Every structure is written in C-alpha cells, then in structure tokens.
Structure 1
C-alpha cells in the first residue's frame, strides 16, 4: 500500500514553481498554461521523500498514437475542452526511461508526477468558467493517475487574488480504478533550523 505521507523540502520544487508561474503569466484563454514534471525520491519508513524534480518532453500534440488516444478516448469521455492540444501532458517514453535509469543510478525511484492547475474559472474562456479547479484531482487527472500507477501524484494550484499569485499543493495516491476517488496524502514540509 502507498504510504500516507510525503516528505518534502519546498526548495526541491523551486524550478517547477518558476516554470508554473511563467506559464501562468503568459497563458491566454485559448492557450492554457501547462507545466508537468516527474518526482524522484525514495521510500523512507512509512513515507515517500521527494528529492528531485525532472522535466520531460511533452508529446501530447506531436505523437500520432497520443493524438488518437485523445480523439478516441479522452475527448469523448472528458469533454471537447481536451481537443485543445495544450490540455493534458504525455511524457515522451524514451525520456521517461532515461530519467528512470538516471534516478536508479543515484539510488532514487520515480515516485510520480506534479502538474499545474490554474484558476481557470477566472482566466479561462467564458464558456469554461463554471469549471472550478483546485489542488484536487479532476476526473481526467484520476484517469491519468490510474493509468500511470505511480504512488504519488501532486497538483500545484495557482490563483491570482488582489494582484498577487497564491498557491496550494495537493498530494494524491492513485485511484484503484479509473474514475474512482484518489486518496489524499499528507504533506510534511522541512522546517529550517528545526
């Protein structure tokens, strides 16, 4: 069974935060922000310790098999919004293999992934503003989490309020079957000087 706790020094996510903010700041209602990365770490006692983040190439818009999967399965099941090629991330398999081998050489494992959710109900196209997202998994997220089988799936939620960006972070175990609920995981952050 997947451990219930995730140990994390927030500095590990610094590059991911930076990339997420850049994506958020440059997005438009037609071009949603996207940011996705692989989480590397190790199992320690009853927890998962995230120690590195690795970015990988997205083949969501360029691979024929992925495009077919979206046309035949994703769009009919989760909606026309996924016909926008900026929606969704599909990691290039050779890069995933390379990252996995490099992690193993460092004594680490691929624990899972992290991706961005923006406050789409504020910045998205008018016809999609009824969809509220957060650090909670969407039905599409649950489908992908189930498919990957990774024990850790994190979501960074960004929202603008009063001219400033705020964030929340969620961690989830995969559902037992596609569409089922994801079990929340406890996040424990390193305290400096403690």
Structure 2
C-alpha cells in the first residue's frame, strides 16, 4: 500500500472536508474482480494483498472515480521499501508486518506509467483502494483478536498520511454462506472519513478516454 510519490494536483489539495467520493460501478467491479481472485489464494500464513490506484476527476468539491489501475508490489525488492519496513513499520506496528506479503509498496515505475496514462486520458491519480480480507477467520489463531473490517488500521492511517493522496478507499472482503460480501469506506489524507457512493455512470458522463482498461 505504500508510496511516497504525491500526484494529487494543488486544486485537489484545496477541496473541503465535505467532499464525497463517487465511485463508478464499473471501476469498483474491476477492483472487486481482482480482489476476489487474490482472496482465493489466501492461506493461514499469507494474507495476500490487493491494491489499485484510483483514477478520476474532481468536480464541485467531489472526487469522481472513473477507473482503477494496477501495478506491481515491490514490498520485498525495493531497497527503500525494505528499509522503511525494517526501521519504521515493523517496530511501530508489530511483527505481523515482517510477513513479506503483508502490505503493499507500489512500484514507482508503475506509478509513473499509470500517471502518464491517466494524463493522456484526461484523468488524475486520486488515491488508492486496497483489500482487507476477513483475516480473523482465515488467518492463524492470534489474528482472531483483532478483526479486520472496512475501517483503516493504524498502519493504513500511517500510509494515508505518508502518501498525501486525497482519496483512500478500504474494501473489506469476506466469503460466507457460499458467496463473497464486501464493504467500503473512504478517507482523506488526514484520515478523516469521506462519504462514499457507488455510481452507475453512463457513457456520456465519462471524460474522454475514461473508463477503459489500462
């Protein structure tokens, strides 16, 4: 989930606390499809993550998410990531983050590619969305004491503030009674909750080039 490259425009940073996140149904479906695939690979020792960048526009004080883009996780290979987890994250947030598949560090090269592609499509990088699985059901016994949900963890709040992105969405995913369920929440860079709505966008409401695949 981690990146230290700030890509939000100055206009975005000036928006009021009352901003809402309007998440297009098609973009959410793309993320959920990826999250459900990754969820299927979770084991008792591996809380497999899922992370995407939110692409969209700003309008009338709201954030409109038109699409998502995926990149590589360099949590264990990027020297900066390894150093921060060793010196800052593990001592501050616990030994659980020694697990190499716990948390996400977006490849800076992929973020640059995503940003350039978004610019060509008339979109901005608004922030990120990541999955919280029902680790208290799937993980080891010690995970049961701290259930995950759609609210950010202390680690998430650290990442939101570090990245400076104006929109940070947490997607809780579980599988019960033979079906997947999910819940969403949105937070700004100061960890204040934002109203979040899922919108069904028509073709005419998308910016030019918006809503397609990467």
Specify if TM > 0.5: yes
Q: Relative to structure 2, which stretch is displaced further, 90-99 or 79-88?
A: 90-99
> Aligned equivalents of 1:151 and 1:88: distance in 2?
20
- The equivalences for 1:34-183 within 5 A come to 34-175=49-190, 182-183=191-192
Deviations 1:97-130 (A, max 9, x none): 1211211121111000000001111111111211
More moved, 125-134 vs 77-86: 125-134
SS in 2 for 1:156: strand
* Structure number with higher relative contact order (C-alpha < 8 Å, ≥ 6 residues apart): 2
3-state SS of the aligned residue for 1:185?
A: strand
- CA separation in 2, counterparts of 1:107 and 1:14? 21
Deviations 1:15-34 (A, max 9, x none): 21111111111210111121
Whole-angstrom distance in 1 between the partners of 2:173 and 2:186: 15
- Tell me, what secondary structure is at the counterpart of 2:165? coil
Q: Aligned residues, how many?
A: 187
2:35–2:50 CA contact under 8 A, matched in 1: yes
Query: Is the 1:7–1:50 contact (alpha carbons within 8 Å) kept by the matching residues of 2?
Result: yes
Give the conservation status (yes or no) of the 8 Å contact 2:20–2:63: yes
The runs of 5 or more residues in structure 2 that have no matched partner are 1-13, 203-214
With normalisation by structure 1, the TM-score equals 0.91
SS at match of 2:101: coil
Instruction: Name whichever of 62-71 and 45-54 sits farther off.
Output: 62-71
Determine whether 1:190 maps to 2:190.
no
State how far apart, in whole Å, the 1-side matches of 2:200 and 2:30 are.
20
Q: Is the 8 A contact 1:7 1:47 kept in 2?
A: yes
TM-score for the superposition, normalised by structure 2: 0.83
Q: Structure 1 segments of 4 or more deviating over 3 A?
A: none
More moved, 53-62 vs 97-106:
97-106
- Listed as ranges, the gaps of 5+ residues in structure 1 are 176-181
Partner of 1:23: 38
Maintained 8 Å contact 1:2/1:173 = no
Q: Is the partner of 1:132 in helix, strand or coil?
A: coil
Provide the residue aligned with 1:11 in structure 2.
Answer: 26
Question: CA 1:192/1:99 → structure 2, altered by over 3 Å: closer, same or farther?
Answer: closer
